[in-house]
Amino acid sequence: MDHTAKPFDPTALPYTLPEEALDILSNARSVTLGENVEQLNKLAVANPDESGWHEVAYDVPGKGKVVEAKACRVKNGIAANYIDPYMRRRDPDCMVIGDEKPTDKPTFQQRFGTSFDSMRAETLEWMKTQDLMMFPFLAGVEDKGTGAIVIAPANAGFFALGLALLQGILANDEIPEGFSPKAVIYVAPPFRHTHLDGKQVVVHNRLDNKHELFAYNLYPGPSAKKGIYGVLLNIGEQEKWVTMHCATAKVVTPYEQSIVISHEGASGGGKSEMLEPVHRQTDNTLKMGENIVSGETRSLSLPSSCNIIPVTDDMALCYPPAEGGSGKLTVADAEDAWFVRVNHINKYGVDPHLERLTVTPEKPLLFLNIDAQPGSTALIWEHIEDEPGKPCPNPRVIVPRDTVPNIHTGKTNVDIRSFGVRCPPCTKEDPTYGILGIFHLLPPSLAWLWRLVAPRGHANPSIVDTGGMASEGVGSYWPFATGRRVDQANLLLEQIINSPAVRYVLIPNQHIGSWEMGFIPQWITRELLARRGGAHFKRSQLEDSRCPLLGWNPKSIMIEGRPVGSWFFSVEKQPEVGIEAYEKGAEILKQFFHREISQFLQDDLHPLGREIIECCLNGGSVDDYAKLIDHQSLLAED
């Protein structure tokens, strides 16, 4: 189908549009109906200049022409770059609520001093003056989710392409029976400058019969991706299910034993990295890390790695525990593509798997914040600069999941839920919360607390960071939720209670005490737990972490007959750290937990949740936590 706009004919659609959407499309200057990704690839660069760049610009009252982004066709897809460096990653404060339903999030009224009704009406009227494009899609999957449509300026084809890759696009002959759009995305970039102080803002307007999402910027993170996440969380809140913020992998050992791990955490917590093969040095060893004080380096010989079968990359729809008495959690991918951050790939050869997938893809991809020219090949290690000598920390590529080799399609049962934390270095001279060992085993109640506080962590590359130790919020998906945090806390606790066969681990990345380690801790943990057939340990194999919030840590670990030093698990044993610096780091963690969990002590908090929080506030031990949800997390002694 050609990308040329045609007169809008609602009778050509095999579904009924919401009233406001019908009014906009019937009165717009022109309308392009999206049918497939190939069409949107053309729309993304519909009007290139002589050099091959398609400019995404708008006339803004009081400012004149404002160029939001530029897009070009490259050999392996479409490359788009934002003019304003601020727009190249998600602002953590981008969400506001436009309605009056129960919420703990900032409302439009609170933030801007006026009702959203007026701006909503202005937005809908502005859209009638534009050349528009529209297409339907399914938010989630058929048995969990809802029908949805997007209406956006036609010149923002790259944004529409990103949404279609991430969430899918339905041609008329693919519309399922009974399809009825209950979610609508309206895209109106100029209002960022005229009404919103230049900030990224996405307004969620939860009406009785539909969920409106007003995207006032063109970065897909807060809208095309996380905005739809918010829609799913809102539906799940009503229907009592959760969309987890996690990457899920089936890990198959060289001996054909397998486990399934779901790795949760805030942005930068290692979700995408859980799906990557172990990064090796030229001699095939694994670089454990480098001591930032002494300069010492350590390597580990691991002749063969596990095979990784990806299941989910970021958003996992959760089902009740698997039938048949297994007591495991069941998940399925909520998306059609993966929004992969590649800031850690800064030269050729760092990740041959992803490099091969993106340099010569089966289908055209969408690259964001990648330094590419029209007609070139976009390379994921060539990052645009925010300023001279300062690469953008959030380069991205959208990879359709059906192009990922060996991917698992459909539901799968989870054996282990891990939680990732970005940690700063911790030394005697500069004590911090970077006291986590390579991994810790958590009792279920303590695993729930970590999901309440969800540390955003050190040097987060995905968002506009404000520094210090901050929380991403309950589930690590709280930035995308529209309701009340206590409701999400209760859902997560019920989920844990109802999944007695699931085990829980805590895994840091970037630093272990004074050692800079990147994502090696989670790759080593993945290899070890898969070889053990799960997170199965006897009490005699573990010791209480010096900080009770860290649960248990192994006394000693062997991988393929090769020992891993105990100071990588008990950080206080590192001479560059010691007990005094460790205790200061533990106090930072304790104060952070106390501050964050106290806000959940509301009247309708689950009674068991109240017990767990009070246990923490009263300085409970690891054994105290273990007794609160007795899922027999540890193996019986012989």
Angle at 168 between CA 335 and CA 188, to 5 degrees: 100
Residue whose pair of structure tokens reads 């964001």 in the numeric block: 368
Kindly report the backbone phi and psi dihedral angles of residue 303, in degrees, each rounded to the nearest multiple of 5, phi listed first.
Answer: -55, -40
- Which amino acid belongs to residue 486? V
Q: What's the CA gap between 161 and 229, in Å, rounded?
A: 18
- Which amino acid belongs to residue 503? R
For the cut 80, the answer to whether the pLDDT of residue 59 exceeds it is: yes
Quote the percentage of the chain above a pLDDT of 70: 97
In DSSP terms, 56 is beta-bridged to: 69
Q: What is the mean pLDDT of the chain?
A: 93
Torsion of CA 197, 85, 53, 389, to 10 degrees: 160
Average pLDDT over residues 286-305: 92
In this prediction, residue 324 carries a pLDDT of 52
- Which amino acid belongs to residue 48? P
For residue 540, CA distances in Å to 9, 208, 406, 634, 637 come to 71, 55, 38, 10, 8
Kindly report the backbone phi and psi dihedral angles of residue 394, in degrees, each rounded to the nearest multiple of 5, phi listed first.
Answer: -135, 50
For the cut 90, the answer to whether the pLDDT of residue 139 exceeds it is: yes
Angle at 228 between CA 383 and CA 601, to 5 degrees: 105
Q: What's the CA gap between 47 and 40, in Å, rounded?
A: 13
Q: How many residues does the chain have?
A: 638
For residue 218, CA distances in Å to 205, 368, 498, 567 come to 19, 11, 40, 46
Q: What's the CA gap between 190 and 58, in Å, rounded?
A: 7
- Of the CA atoms within 13 Å of residue 380, those in its CB half-sphere come to 28
For the cut 80, the answer to whether the pLDDT of residue 137 exceeds it is: yes
Q: Coil, strand or helix: which one is 75?
A: coil
In this prediction, residue 353 carries a pLDDT of 86
Beta strand residue intervals within 106-241, DSSP E: 131-141, 144-153, 181-187, 202-206, 211-215
Q: What's the CA gap between 452 and 203, in Å, rounded?
A: 24
For the chain, what is the radius of gyration of the CA atoms?
A: 24
Encoding tokens for residue 84?
Answer: 């304003």
pLDDT tens for 198-233 read 999 999 999 998 999 999 999 998 888 899 999 999
User: 3-state DSSP: the chain helix, strand, coil percent, rounded to 5?
Assistant: 30, 30, 40
Q: What's the CA gap between 638 and 615, in Å, rounded?
A: 31
**Quick one: which H or E segment has residue 24?**
helix 19-27
DSSP 8-class letter at 106? P
For the cut 50, the answer to whether the pLDDT of residue 542 exceeds it is: yes
For the cut 70, the answer to whether the pLDDT of residue 498 exceeds it is: yes
DSSP 8-class letter at 263? E
pLDDT tens for 323-343 read 555 789 999 999 999 998 898
Q: What's the CA gap between 246 and 274, in Å, rounded?
A: 10
pLDDT tens for 142-200 read 778 899 999 999 999 999 999 999 999 999 999 998 899 999 999 999 999 999 999 99
Angle at 366 between CA 96 and CA 39, to 5 degrees: 100
In this prediction, residue 2 carries a pLDDT of 44
pLDDT band, very low/low/confident/very high, at 462 (cuts 50, 70, 90)? low
pLDDT band, very low/low/confident/very high, at 632 (cuts 50, 70, 90)? confident
Average pLDDT over residues 113-125: 97
- Domains, the chain, ordered by start: 10-239 (3.40.449.10), 243-328+415-628 (3.90.228.20)
Q: What's the CA gap between 226 and 242, in Å, rounded?
A: 15
Contact 596, 616 (CB under 8 A): no
For the cut 50, the answer to whether the pLDDT of residue 1 exceeds it is: no
For the cut 60, the answer to whether the pLDDT of residue 465 exceeds it is: no
For the cut 90, the answer to whether the pLDDT of residue 357 exceeds it is: yes
Q: Which residue intervals of 550-621 are DSSP H helices?
A: 578-597, 607-617
pLDDT band, very low/low/confident/very high, at 366 (cuts 50, 70, 90)? very high
Q: What's the CA gap between 278 and 261, in Å, rounded?
A: 15
Q: What's the CA gap between 441 and 507, in Å, rounded?
A: 9
For residue 166, CA distances in Å to 312, 314, 322, 365, 618 come to 13, 11, 27, 11, 44
Long-range contacts of 108-117 (CB under 8 A, 24+ apart): 108/203, 112/195, 112/196, 116/203, 116/205
Average pLDDT over residues 74-93: 94
In this prediction, residue 3 carries a pLDDT of 47
pTM, rounded to two decimals: 0.91
Q: Which residue intervals of 304-372 are DSSP H helices?
A: 352-359
For residue 248, CA distances in Å to 273, 314, 333, 416, 489 come to 11, 8, 9, 10, 21
Q: How many CB atoms lie within 10 A of CB 516?
A: 14
Q: What's the CA gap between 456 and 423, in Å, rounded?
A: 10
DSSP 8-class letter at 90? B
For the cut 90, the answer to whether the pLDDT of residue 565 exceeds it is: no
**Quick one: which H or E segment has residue 440?**
strand 440-442
* β pairing state of 503-512 and 416-422: parallel
Q: What is the DSSP string of 47-108?
A: SB-TTSEEEEEEEETTTEEEEEEEEEEETTEEEEEESSGGGGSB-TT-EEE-S-SS-SSPBH
Q: How many CB atoms lie within 10 A of CB 527?
A: 22
For the cut 70, the answer to whether the pLDDT of residue 460 exceeds it is: no
